[in-house]
């Protein structure tokens, strides 16, 4: 089977072309902020040949800097483990930027692999008023050049026809790789550009106008914060009705199963263990969907790199760089895609710093813990003329995470990750209307990954927790396995005000933080039975003092990482050292913060 790789600069419309060719049916290794792992799919040409096509991360040339670019170059050279090298390359180039990026084509041509050039987003370039002499470009490059509009099937047809027409050429073996001098290639590329670009108007005027507002030194920051504020508002308020539906659905399902199955271990395992456990996590799906909707739209429109531009100087002060913005923003949904999105950061030290602080961004899994404790302990009063006290506490918890991240990255920059910071060389793409197909496929990829996690790690841990709180049978809760572990560990946590029940909830919380809520529910439900939110809140309010509750909240700001995050950090840093360091420092911070909170709250008489 013919294997083609799509190669090109970031934002050249490669992914749109890939989705168009394959219909979006693709295998992908994992999920992330952008095109990070290679995605591969298949399509049939008009002549009936099956072609495998691989979508690679954006690269400007062969001099790979970031992890992302290295993956792309390694895939092309066949150095990626388990992947064969492509037979030929489709070089995708944004027609509107032909002059600036033409040398990328010449650079990949030195590899000796057969090539087809796709002069992409031709419609947008033509709308700007650009005119090209394509036959002349073909002659100058000596390879087929096809004008494509990745969004239209008619715009892809020409490319597929060219693949058929040049089939034997594409399948012919690669010739020897040539050495090159980038300066010479550029000179050659500019000379070709002068000949083939018949008319080249000034840059996209819409982009120029929007940037005047969006990149304004003060106004731009105001807009950025307004967008972020709106986004979080949406995540926390729009999701509520959907979450209620999911919550209710799982509740009814558990009831239904309980009614159908005879009382006993099996009923308890399925209803209390499996359904309640997985349900307590799936309830966050609406929030994750909304957050990723925003991230995908901001990315596809071209705004995301503007946000990185606006924040670069600020983040530099704290030892990060502007590109850390996207990973850190994703971490508010879940640290795992955040840690993976850090791959686009070229400088290894900046990347490590970003990964180390990503878990301090309050992920959506911590939300149920916050919500439960706030509703149980913080009165629904307004302070300072109309600000809700509960909302204020929630906001402070988020801010505590962000401020800690700033301090930690600052300290890391002075110590472990010291060194010159990465240069910032980043293209700000022309603004575009996001493509619905790309948007929905991107969203589906994230949703699928989340569901897979719920179906595997969370399902398994739910069953394990159920077993721990159930066995040995017919004893008081304190005598179950979980109860004994909690009692054993209680002295360690006594200085920070935790009781045995709280300690028990921390252990499965390592599998997934949100499980802490269902554990508290299970633990206290041993007497009560019902898994009713208000019921738990009332039980907690009666059983815990306010300093205990605040201490528990403080713990969750730094909450020891879930195993999945630690495993991801281990894989992304390729080091147990960094994964261990992160776990240790988060534990230490959590312990110290809880202790300080508990004793200060006790001292002031709360």
Partner 1 sequence: MTLDQLAKGVVAHITGFQSKTGADNQDAKVVSKLREIGFAEGDEVELMHTGLLFGTPLSFRLNRTIIALRKREASLITISTVEQAASR
| 88 burial level (CB within 10 Å; 0-12, 13-18, 19+) | buried
567 φ, ψ (degrees, to nearest 5): -65, -40
User: What distance, in Å, lies between the first and last C-alpha atoms of the chain?
Assistant: 71
Does residue 27 belong to the site contacting partner 1 (CB under 8 A)?
no
**Residue of 284, 292, 352 whose CA lies nearest to 513:** 284
**Which tokens in the block code for residue 483?**
């109860």
For residue 508, give Cα distances in angstroms to 38, 273, 286: 34, 13, 23
| Sheet (strand 39-44) strand order | 26-28, 39-44, 50-55, 2-8, 88-94, 115-120, 145-147
- Among 250, 294, 309, 558, which residue interacts with partner 1 (rule: CB under 8 A)? 309
Choose the binding region for partner 1 from 39-47, 214-222, 285-293, 495-503 (rule: CB under 8 A): 214-222
* Binding residues among 527-546 for partner 1 as defined by CB under 8 A: none
- Among 50, 84, 172, 194, which residue interacts with partner 1 (rule: CB under 8 A)? 194
Residues 101 and 117: beta-carbon distance below 8 Å? no
Choose the binding region for partner 1 from 210-218, 481-489, 543-551, 563-571 (rule: CB under 8 A): 210-218
Choose the binding region for partner 1 from 77-85, 308-316, 327-335, 386-394 (rule: CB under 8 A): 308-316
**Residue of 126, 69, 106, 89 whose CA lies nearest to 3:** 89
- Considering the complex, what minimum distance in angstroms separates the CB of residue 409 from partner 1? 17
Return the number of the residue (127 or 317) whose C-beta is nearest partner 1.
317
- Among 18, 31, 60, 477, which residue interacts with partner 1 (rule: CB under 8 A)? 60
Does residue 103 belong to the site contacting partner 1 (CB under 8 A)?
yes
Does residue 203 belong to the site contacting partner 1 (CB under 8 A)?
yes
- Considering the complex, what minimum distance in angstroms separates the CB of residue 294 from partner 1? 22
408: preceding bond cis by omega (within 30 degrees): no
3-class secondary structure, 8: strand
**Which tokens in the block code for residue 602?**
């006790």
Choose the binding region for partner 1 from 200-208, 271-279, 288-296, 539-547 (rule: CB under 8 A): 200-208
Does residue 351 belong to the site contacting partner 1 (CB under 8 A)?
no
**Total residues in contact with partner 1, by rule CB under 8 A:** 48
**Which tokens in the block code for residue 537?**
């809140």
Return the number of the residue (280 or 321) whose C-beta is nearest partner 1.
321
Residues 402 and 361: beta-carbon distance below 8 Å? yes
Does residue 61 belong to the site contacting partner 1 (CB under 8 A)?
yes
Cα–Cα distance between 83 and 437 in angstroms, integer?
A: 27
CB neighbourhood size of 198 (10 A): 10
- Among 2, 269, 400, 428, which residue interacts with partner 1 (rule: CB under 8 A)? 428
Cα–Cα distance between 520 and 545 in angstroms, integer?
A: 16
Residues 11 and 434: beta-carbon distance below 8 Å? no
Does residue 65 belong to the site contacting partner 1 (CB under 8 A)?
yes
**Residue of 213, 284, 270, 182 whose CA lies nearest to 242:** 284
Q: What binding mask, one character per residue, do residues 408-427 give for partner 1 by CB under 8 A, x or -?
A: ------------x--xxxxx
- Among 3, 14, 39, 101, which residue interacts with partner 1 (rule: CB under 8 A)? 101
At CA 313, angle to CA 310 and CA 316, rounded to 5? 130
Return the number of the residue (3 or 97) whose C-beta is nearest partner 1.
97
Q: Name 232's Cβ contacts closer than 8 Å, sequence gap at least 6.
A: 332
Q: What binding mask, one character per residue, do residues 148-187 give for partner 1 by CB under 8 A, x or -?
A: ----------------------------------xx--xx
Does residue 312 belong to the site contacting partner 1 (CB under 8 A)?
yes
Does residue 70 belong to the site contacting partner 1 (CB under 8 A)?
no
Secondary structure element (H or E) that encloses residue 6, with its range: strand 2-8
Return the number of the residue (190 or 484) whose C-beta is nearest partner 1.
190
Return the number of the residue (222 or 416) whose C-beta is nearest partner 1.
222
Return the number of the residue (123 or 211) whose C-beta is nearest partner 1.
211
For 382-396, the DSSP string reads: EETTTEEHHHHHHHH
Return the number of the residue (207 or 267) whose C-beta is nearest partner 1.
207
**Residue of 285, 108, 96, 110 whose CA lies nearest to 207:** 96
* Binding residues among 245-304 for partner 1 as defined by CB under 8 A: none
Does residue 393 belong to the site contacting partner 1 (CB under 8 A)?
no
For 64-106, the DSSP string reads: --SHHHHHHHHHHHT-STT-PPPSEEEEEEEGGGHHHHHHHHH
- Considering the complex, what minimum distance in angstroms separates the CB of residue 232 from partner 1? 23
Return the number of the residue (207 or 258) whose C-beta is nearest partner 1.
207
Return the number of the residue (64 or 158) whose C-beta is nearest partner 1.
64
Question: How many alpha carbons fall within 13 Å on the CB side of residue 516?
Answer: 28
* Binding residues among 109-138 for partner 1 as defined by CB under 8 A: 128
- Among 63, 133, 195, 381, which residue interacts with partner 1 (rule: CB under 8 A)? 63
Cα–Cα distance between 14 and 353 in angstroms, integer?
A: 30
**Residue of 149, 200, 9 whose CA lies nearest to 92:** 9
Return the number of the residue (39 or 97) whose C-beta is nearest partner 1.
97
- Among 30, 110, 166, 207, which residue interacts with partner 1 (rule: CB under 8 A)? 207
- Among 216, 260, 452, 571, which residue interacts with partner 1 (rule: CB under 8 A)? 216
Residues at the site binding partner 1, with contacts judged by CB under 8 A: 60-61, 63, 65, 96-97, 99-101, 103-104, 128, 182-183, 186-187, 189-190, 194, 200, 202-204, 207-208, 211, 215-218, 221, 305, 309-310, 312-314, 317, 322, 420, 423-430
């Amino acid at each position: 089977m013919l294997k083609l790789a799509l190669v090109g600069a970031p934002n050249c419309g490669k992914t749109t072309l890939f989705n168009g060719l394959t219909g979006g049916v693709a295998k992908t290794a994992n999920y992330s902020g952008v095109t990070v792992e290679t995605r591969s799919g298949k399509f049939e040409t008009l002549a009936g040949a099956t072609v495998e096509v691989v979508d690679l991360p954006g690269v400007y040339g062969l001099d790979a800097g970031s992890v992302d670019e290295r993956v792309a170059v390694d895939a092309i050279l066949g150095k990626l483990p388990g992947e064969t090298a492509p037979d030929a390359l489709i070089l995708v180039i944004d027609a509107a930027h032909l002059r600036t990026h033409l040398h990328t084509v010449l650079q990949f041509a030195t590899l000796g692999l057969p090539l087809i050039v796709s002069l992409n987003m031709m419609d947008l370039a033509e709308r700007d008023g650009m005119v090209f002499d394509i036959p002349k470009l073909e002659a100058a490059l000596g390879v087929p050049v096809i004008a494509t509009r990745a969004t239209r099937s008619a715009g892809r047809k020409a490319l597929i026809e060219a693949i058929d027409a040049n089939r034997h050429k594409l399948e012919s073996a690669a010739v020897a790789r040539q050495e090159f001098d980038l300066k010479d290639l550029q000179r050659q590329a500019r000379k070709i550009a002068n000949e083939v670009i018949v008319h080249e108007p000034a840059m996209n005027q819409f982009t120029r106008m929007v940037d005047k507002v969006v990149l304004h030194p003060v106004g731009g920051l105001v807009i950025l914060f307004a967008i972020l504020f709106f986004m979080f508002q949406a995540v926390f308020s729009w999701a509520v009705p959907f979450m209620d539906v999911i919550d209710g659905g799982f509740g009814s399902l558990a009831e239904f199963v309980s009614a159908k199955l005879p009382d006993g271990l099996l009923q308890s395992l399925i209803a209390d263990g499996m359904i309640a456990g997985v349900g307590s996590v799936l309830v966050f799906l609406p929030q994750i969907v909304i957050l990723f909707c925003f991230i995908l739209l901001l990315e596809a429109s071209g705004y995301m790199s503007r946000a990185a531009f606006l924040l670069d100087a600020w983040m530099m002060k704290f030892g990060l760089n502007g590109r850390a913005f996207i990973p850190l923003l994703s971490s508010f949904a879940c640290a795992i895609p955040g840690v993976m999105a850090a791959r686009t950061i070229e400088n290894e030290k900046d990347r490590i710093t970003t990964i180390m602080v990503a878990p301090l961004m309050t992920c959506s899994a911590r939300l149920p813990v916050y919500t439960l404790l706030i509703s149980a302990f913080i009165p629904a009063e307004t302070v300072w003329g109309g600000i809700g006290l509960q909302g204020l506490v929630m906001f402070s918890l988020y801010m505590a995470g962000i401020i800690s991240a700033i301090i930690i990255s600052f300290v890391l920059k002075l110590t472990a990750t010291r060194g010159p910071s990465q240069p910032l060389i980043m293209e700000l793409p022309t603004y575009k209307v996001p493509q619905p197909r790309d948007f929905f496929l991107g969203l589906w990829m994230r949703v699928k990954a989340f569901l897979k996690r719920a179906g595997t790690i969370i399902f398994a841990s739910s069953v394990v927790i159920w077993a721990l709180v159930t066995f040995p049978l017919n004893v008081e809760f304190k005598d179950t396995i979980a109860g004994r572990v909690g009692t054993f560990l209680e002295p360690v946590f006594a200085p920070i005000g935790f009781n045995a029940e709280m300690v028990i909830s921390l252990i499965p919380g390592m599998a997934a933080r949100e499980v802490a809520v269902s554990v508290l529910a299970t633990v206290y439900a041993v007497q009560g039975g019902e898994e009713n939110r208000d019921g738990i809140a009332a039980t907690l309010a009666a059983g815990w003092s306010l300093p205990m509750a605040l201490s528990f909240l403080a713990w969750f700001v730094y909450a020891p990482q879930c195993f999945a995050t630690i495993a991801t950090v281990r894989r992304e840093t390729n080091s147990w050292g960094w994964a261990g360091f992160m776990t240790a420092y988060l534990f230490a911070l959590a312990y110290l913060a809880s202790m300080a909170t508990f004793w200060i709250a006790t001292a002031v008489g709360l």
